[in-house]
Amino acid sequence: MNIFKDAYKIVRDNSDEIYKGFGFRHLSDATQYYVHPNNQSYKGTTTLCQPIGEGITLFSLVLKGLVTDNEGILGDILVNSDKSKLYFKVKFSEDWKDNGIIDSRVDKAIVLLDDNEINLTFYDESNKILPTTGKMYPKDGELIDMVYCFFLSFAALLTRDTNEDDEFNRIVFDYIENPTADAFVNIHEDFYQNHKMEDYEFITDEDLLNYDIREFVSYKNIYSIIRQNKEQLKEKLDVVIAKFDDNIFTEEQKQLIPTLGEEFELPEGLKPVCNAVVAGDSRTVLLHGPAGTGKTISCKLICRDIGLPIMDTVNCSENLDEFILGKFIPEGEQIIFKESYVTKAIRDGGAVVFEEINFAKPAHLAFLNSLLDDNGFVRLDNGEIVRRNANFRFFATMNLGYFGTKELNQALYNRFNTIVEIASLSDTAIKKMLITRVPECKEYVTKILGVYHKLKNKIEAEELDIVISPRNLENWARQAKYEGYLKAAEKTIIPIAKCDRTLENVIRGFLLLYKWN
């Protein structure tokens, strides 16, 4: 039986809504949220179905109950030593019965997965087996409808996928911690597309309560360390940021310590980096991540908060050449060597920032190997050797996987003391930035973020070669002051599609989901 395709043919008699499924219904079109690369539907659409959707809800609640000890459904998930079998047990809460998601007579259910064999049994409160009809369209009300077998089977199969696929495991745990409609659709579509051609054999009504599970291990034990580590990562460190001594830099250098608006705050995760930079344990810092995540701003925030002047900022995609350390120039009747601001920083202290360092030609970065060594120095074209000042710090930023970028030389990459991936700005940070810079957008900022996330999810899911960043949102909000958000989007957000007419229309579809006046 191909339960994945059959799932689209069946629906509960009492409702076509997917229980706790963000308002989605059986056969809801969710194309605006996500389309799997292997989607082969005639129209290329993403369609949801009730059994798979409620399987997602059930398995996420059982897993949440095991992993977080709160807000979940009572149950257990166990796997044997070679992971060939999975034992999924769930005790239904009253709301599932009251809403008709499961037969009111059912107290608990057990699913045993063994390859493509699904062994499933329902029990009442006295642990008596409740027989199933074994038919997709039951007529006998005394037996448990087959429709309930589907979402339970999907819950167990989803659980097995989390145990076998690390990337899917990450997506699932992100969803458990932050359930969103976008993630729900993503899980549903990936799950369906990955298994839509598979056949499964149903076995029902066998006694699984007494099944020998002595060689099985509970997910609760498997994920206990993961849970502890996640909790540790959530702990906020009470970090007091150190600063460079006020007398280290000259008054001229101090004028170059960055000043930024109140909308910019140093992320908590960068505070320990600040102290490592001041102490000299981190002389070289590389920040990487997608465009628009604030990598250069993060460099400035670090330097602002520790009192470190930025002597020069070099855009490697435009300005970096063989004369980065200085060059000979005519002065009157003489040819003199004029050193660059980068060299001045190496000699006298302060920071330099190399933006988009992986755009640069490797030959133009060769001097960094000696500069960033333990006994750092550079040799200028005039033959002078400049030793690295004890208060010199080197920052670099880069995007990964963009057209024109190069893989950073491993020897250079290894010379960075601290490498930080800068995640996308939080909604809170983007809201604060937009409202501070464009106060008129306050009423619409939630809608702006809604469009932003829908487009961002589509870009990531389909690996499109385009970027949307908070800068685009700011430009949109500024232009909207003069012609409204729909028309302003044509000049600021739609162009992100780079003249891809299909994508342009998808973005317009996102915009039409919201009321802008």
516 domain residue, yes or no: no
| pLDDT, position 517 | 82
Q: Is the dihedral of CA 33, 34, 39, 44 positive or negative?
A: positive
219 domain residue, yes or no: yes
Round to whole Å and give the CA distance between 326 and 54: 65
Query: What is the tally of structural domains in the chain?
Result: 3
495 domain residue, yes or no: yes
Q: Are residues 385 and 467 in the same domain?
A: no
Two structure tokens written together for 230: 């996640």
| pLDDT, position 318 | 59
Q: Are residues 70 and 212 in the same domain?
A: yes
Mean pLDDT per 10-residue segment, the chain (517 residues): 92 92 94 84 87 94 76 83 90 91 92 94 94 60 77 93 83 84 92 93 91 87 68 74 94 94 82 96 92 85 96 81 83 85 95 91 87 91 92 91 61 91 83 92 94 88 83 94 96 93 92 90
Place of tokens 């499961």: 102
Q: Which domain holds residue 417?
A: 251-421
Q: Are residues 122 and 257 in the same domain?
A: no
Q: Are residues 50 and 166 in the same domain?
A: yes
Q: Are residues 417 and 401 in the same domain?
A: yes
β-pair partners for 284: 394
375 domain residue, yes or no: yes
Domain boundary among 421, 447, 478: 421
For the domain that residue 263 is a member of, what is the CATH number? 3.40.50.300
| pLDDT, position 70 | 59
| pLDDT, position 224 | 66
241 domain residue, yes or no: no
Q: Are residues 42 and 93 in the same domain?
A: yes
What is the CB neighbour count within 10 angstroms for residue 197?
Answer: 9
Round to whole Å and give the CA distance between 341 and 184: 51
303 domain residue, yes or no: yes
Q: Are residues 125 and 173 in the same domain?
A: yes
Radius of gyration (C-alpha) of the chain in whole angstroms: 29
Cα-based torsion angle of the residue sequence 145, 151, 153, 156 in order, rounded to the nearest 10 degrees:
-140
Q: Is the dihedral of CA 363, 369, 371, 377 positive or negative?
A: negative
Under 8 Å between Cβ of 177 and 187: no
Domain boundary among 421, 447, 475: 421
239 domain residue, yes or no: no
286 domain residue, yes or no: yes
Q: Are residues 414 and 486 in the same domain?
A: no
